[in-house]
Structure 1
């Protein structure tokens, strides 16, 4: 068994013939000009589709970023408006806060 494997491994392969076999034409084994043109068309079409997809993905990402910024600005404006409204509705110092302790919200009692 080993001798068979050794002889297969050391037997040189015949050199390929530089010409085609009888009955086969060059058009049967090569794609020719039409094959090259079709392959080039698919390569160019794929490249254009990839570029278009990258543009669309980038556009969607930028729109999402702008929407997040807009929502953050609206939330900040709401917080500022509520702070301003709280400042207008804050009870005067010395008035009762409803619990009867005479301390307005946001103020602390003096330590005894």
Structure 2
């Protein structure tokens, strides 16, 4: 599932900022990514994107306006810490990290 609705004046993503999200399994090192975690990005002006992490537990949200956003990871059979992250994107790039436990 991939949903992209960045709504601005013309229904397009309006910015140039980048938010990187990475999801790894507990415990820490070595790095064990969790693939196919659905990341939901909610932002200003009805901006919504739902997309999975790749094989290395990564996804980059591109063309974002500098504004507040919330990122929420979900995957059946998994719990994440934190369960969501709120970030006021004020720079050209930001990183959000989640740790997951799956059974």
So what's the TM-score if we normalise by structure 1?
0.14
User: Larger relative CO (CA 8 A, sep 6+): 1 or 2?
Assistant: 2
So what's the TM-score if we normalise by structure 2?
0.15
Higher helix share: 1
Structure with the greater alpha carbon radius of gyration: 1
Higher strand share: 2
